[in-house]
Structure 1
């Protein structure tokens, strides 16, 4: 029998487990209940990155998970340190981002006492993670960590939480390291189900592909492009599927849909007699908004569908998406004649793209129309640029109308719709690819929820530009309040000199003060080495059009 390794303390075992697991970065804030583990990490090759708020550490870990497929790691102390993680872990689980969070806890003997920072964190995190457990015996630490990583990375990925009592970290322990573990990947879907799906697609008169978040994984995106080229069928995607469709197929891409049911792609869904969803979860776009006619659905994903009134697939292809699509593609040699209604929709989308390219600012007051900003942003964004979007009305404009052609080039939070994610996501993305430019975008409201991480970006010398769309309001809330109540409440706040604010952190600051200087200022900001921030006043007076219903035979309200 092999003798187990003797560790000076549990923290040493856990730190070595994390290193063996392949963890490169840990984002966190230390405290007395977990500082032993922070100390132990210093003896590994893992880079510890202190952040300025625990939620932001979780966002950074989440984006590492999304872009690599391997769980990012965040580590915080007990009590409020853990509580501040809730939003970050809920976001990761909703968005399918693999993440493992480690939280300190009081000694086991004190857990039932009224002592400071005592909190039942396992229960707190159970509803927002795929896995939540506490290490109650030091010999079980490696087992629990191995299962946390496995749960976070398998199936539809998400967050896992592990509570580490202070005495577990301090006491000596004898234990093997059970990492790395290589979970068996599910194979492709059942061959009979694939054949049934192929038959349904061939028999359909107007089938349409709807792409979701998991479609944008690079290996899945490649298989989807082969499938599309074989079938030549129309396709659309949710905001999270951005970048899945290659530019060579854009003539049959009806754009992105989400939140408000008034896009050209929504017309395709309404007219379809079969909808094939790939890597889609209802959290991305409520089926009750786009499937009121109960159109037949073929569901292709790594997990079974969650059945609801408006999402009841007749065939489910459950398994690894890439091999499933390859097998399905081999059975589809059929050619479809697109109905005139589909042709009209695709022509409308082509018209939109041309209109944005030709857009010129015509407003009298100085504040830039969202389409003007998108036009100028499109000119400076290269295929290597990664874009991280915060939550706000600006993200609807960008998600609908900004083109991108690389899978996971455009990152959006549309599950929890979390404010403040853009800058932390941008920092995490920059760490993974320091030679590539990262652009994060937020409104002025969302920016101030995580702007303290500018110091982190400066410290890490991130190749990052943060763009702020400024209007001195929580505008996405405002436009919905005005529609419902004909007035707004609780959304207005005061101005900030964002140029001076950025420079106070050591970043380069820019502020657009005239319409004609937007392009030159944005290019200068993009060319800046290291972190930069540019503030751009925006005119949201057309925001009501984002929600306006389409009239019969009309165009997208923004372009009507």
Structure 2
């Protein structure tokens, strides 16, 4: 049957099992919009391509299936780049369709023309331009394969407008059947042999592919061998944080005692994580130039193994598959020699997560502790970047996979669009976004998207009137010389009401529990604005103390 390119594309998305797409419409892909109309795939229309890209990325994190994004040529694709960077660094599968100028106008700097191969090349796993309508199924099939294979990530397909509106008679290509690879007995034995020789092992978990079953297998493996399990930056939902073998996160604002344990470990079992600069404090806790500990590295991309760390062994498989095999392998016949090391690491975590008071009538450590104690098991928490996020990392106890959506790339503005995508994917689960006043304002225009699509999320805005993290570093390096870090803010609840949502302002800690209960019961997006003391910092210092440290450093 002859179909226009947009219909061919939409039919292929349906075959791939795409549940919804995210977009900002453009005239360059009207044929694709027409195709989506026929197949009935919901199209979440967003207000900015950056927000749309972050929604698609968050949807992929929650579902394990590629997020699908449509943006128009030129400015639209440039706006989307920030979300693609998140997907690349977070190993999230995405397929991005970008409108393109007509093929006959290429290389003339036509209206909104862009060389997508050069522009997106460093950001994505693969970028291509489809020149013939009849080849759409071929390119789309490869795009979905590439996005999900090895280390997952984003791919981009540029769609010339005249190609997309052209007609062709071409068969569809079935979706790929993904086999479940099993580690070999030799690979499992090699990991257990490394444990047999260890005195101070540490498991570090991260990367993609985690599920509730993977978390259960990890718990079994950790219990049987009494292993301390740490997680990499913003991967705290890989294991229930209440589990006695969970010992904390290695990332920005990490517990310094846990960092020292990473330094002291004689065996690191890295499961899915790249074990990069964030987890190792800029390679100060582990130095790849002078590797002084054994690293068992499990990662789905064979090119990652040996790129930074010398693995012994290196296993090019999905970490959950290896963990499942380790869980089936049983445990030692006698208590392991490192049990005291594990118990001490857990005690360090318990001490680190005991709330440390900060100044002000509203205190973030108490806000996050209340969230951790009262939100149901199914709740999804999202955040972007800022000083407020360190409170969340430290004091919230995540229950399991799919309860944390946060960018390992450190992108501001991520939390709010991610929350919208999460609520659409899990309409029955409470979804709470934490954002700073600077972070929220980067994507708050998506409030209109949330209202339009019925995403009744809760947004908690930590308002301290400044870019808090940058100001903290500024006071330490250039004390008293404030430049570019203060913010003028709107009335956030009033702004939410203007969009059709609701909200309240909290100026006293005692009012927060009632405000949260009201927000969770709302049938529309609800903003809780927290008026914070500008002096409060997640480090436990105040800004004045950070400034004093900077002054002391300057005077020697």
TM-score of the superposed pair, with normalisation by structure 2: 0.91
Partner SS state of residue 516, structure 1: helix
- Aligned counterpart, 2:548: none
Task: Indicate the larger mover: 341-350 or 496-505.
Answer: 341-350
Number of matched residues?
A: 534
Partners of 2:536 and 2:2 in 1: CA distance: 66
Select the residue among 376, 384, 409 that pairs with 2:378: 384
Q: Deviations over 1:16-46 (max 9, x none)?
A: 1112211121111122211121122111120
Distance 1:325 1:376, change over 3 A: closer
Superposed CA offset, 1:370-423 (max 9, x none): 212212222332111000111111112211221111212112112x21111111
Measure the CA separation in 2 of the matches of 1:94 and 1:380.
Answer: 32
**What SS does structure 2 have at the residue aligned with 1:214?**
coil
Q: 1:39 aligns with which of 34, 37, 56?
A: 34
Matches within 5 A, 1:350-389: 350-353=350-353, 355-356=354-355, 363=359, 365-366=360-361, 368-389=362-383
Secondary structure at the residue paired with 1:424?
helix
Q: Measure the CA separation in 2 of the matches of 1:362 and 1:446.
A: 21
* Unaligned runs of at least 5 residues, structure 1: 549-560
Aligned to 1:557: none
CA contact (8 A) 2:209 2:320 kept: no
Corresponding residue SS for 2:311? coil
> Could you say which residue in structure 2 is the equivalent of 1:25?
20
Q: By how many angstroms is 1:339 displaced?
A: 6.5
Task: Name the CA distance, whole Å, in 2 between partners of 1:97 and 1:155.
Answer: 11
Q: CA deviation at 1:279?
A: 1.1
Deviation at 1:438, TM superposition (A): 0.6
Q: Which residue of 2 aligns with 1:348?
A: 348
Out of 2, 6, 22, the position equivalent to 1:6 is 2
2:472 alignment counterpart: 479
Is 1:66 aligned with 2:61?
Answer: yes
Question: Is 2:202 aligned against 1:204?
Answer: no
Aligned-partner Cα distance in 2 for 1:228–1:76:
44
Name which of 119, 125, 143 aligns with 1:124. Answer: 119
Matched, 1:156 2:151: yes
Does 1:420 pair with 2:413? yes
Q: Cα offset for 1:340?
A: 5.2
The CA RMSD over aligned residues, in Å, is: 2.3
Q: Distance in 1 between matches of 2:113 and 2:208?
A: 38
Counterpart of 1:396 in structure 2 is: 390
- The structure 2 residue matched to 1:517, chosen from 511, 516, 519, is 511
Query: Does residue 137 in structure 1 map to residue 132 in structure 2?
Result: yes
Q: Which residue does 1:326 correspond to in 2?
A: 324
- Residues 362 and 241 of structure 1: CA distance in aligned 2, closer, same or farther (over 3 Å): closer
- Indicate yes or no: 2:433 matched with 1:440: yes
Following superposition, the deviation at residue 240 of structure 1 comes to 2.8
Query: Is 1:468 equivalent to 2:452 in the alignment?
Result: no
- 1:125–1:265 Cα change, 3 Å: same
- Structure 1 position 327, deviation (Å): 2.8
Report whether the alignment pairs 1:83 with 2:83: no
Task: Decide which moves more: 46-55 or 481-490.
Answer: 481-490
Consecutive unaligned residues of structure 2, counting only runs of 5 or more, are: 543-556
> 1:555 is matched with which residue?
none
SS, match of residue 419 in structure 1: coil
Preserved CA contact (<8 Å) 1:212 1:279: yes
In structure 2, the CA distance between the partners of 1:283 and 1:341, relative to structure 1 (3 Å rule), is: closer
Query: Does the residue aligned with 2:422 lie in a helix, a strand or coil?
Result: helix
Contact 1:262 1:547 in 2 (8 A): no
Aligned mates of 1:284, 1:158 — CA distance in 2: 20
Q: Distance in 1 between matches of 2:491 and 2:528?
A: 11
- How far apart in 2 are the matches of 1:62 and 1:246? 23
- Distance in 2 (CA, whole Å) between partners of 1:312 and 1:299 is 9
Deviation sequence 1:21-80 (CA, Å, 0-9, x none) = 111211111222111211221111201121000111111111111111111111011111
Alignment of 1:458 onto 2:454? no
Task: Say if 2:61 and 2:405, in contact at 8 Å, map to a contact too.
Answer: no
User: In structure 2, what is the Cα distance between the partners aligned to 1:146 and 1:271?
Assistant: 46
Structure 1, 301-310 or 233-242: larger mean CA deviation: 301-310
Partner of residue 174 from structure 2, selected from 169, 175, 179: 179
Q: CA deviation at 1:195?
A: 1.6
Three-state SS of the structure 1 residue aligned to 2:314 is strand
Q: Separation in 1 of the partners of 2:167 and 2:223?
A: 59
Kindly indicate whether the alpha-carbon contact (under 8 Å) linking 1:238 and 1:284 is maintained by their aligned counterparts in 2: no
Contact 1:33 1:78 in 2 (8 A): yes
- In 1: Cα distance, 2:450 partner to 2:187 partner: 48
SS in 1 for 2:163: helix
Question: 8 Å contact 2:494–2:502 — kept in the other structure?
Answer: no
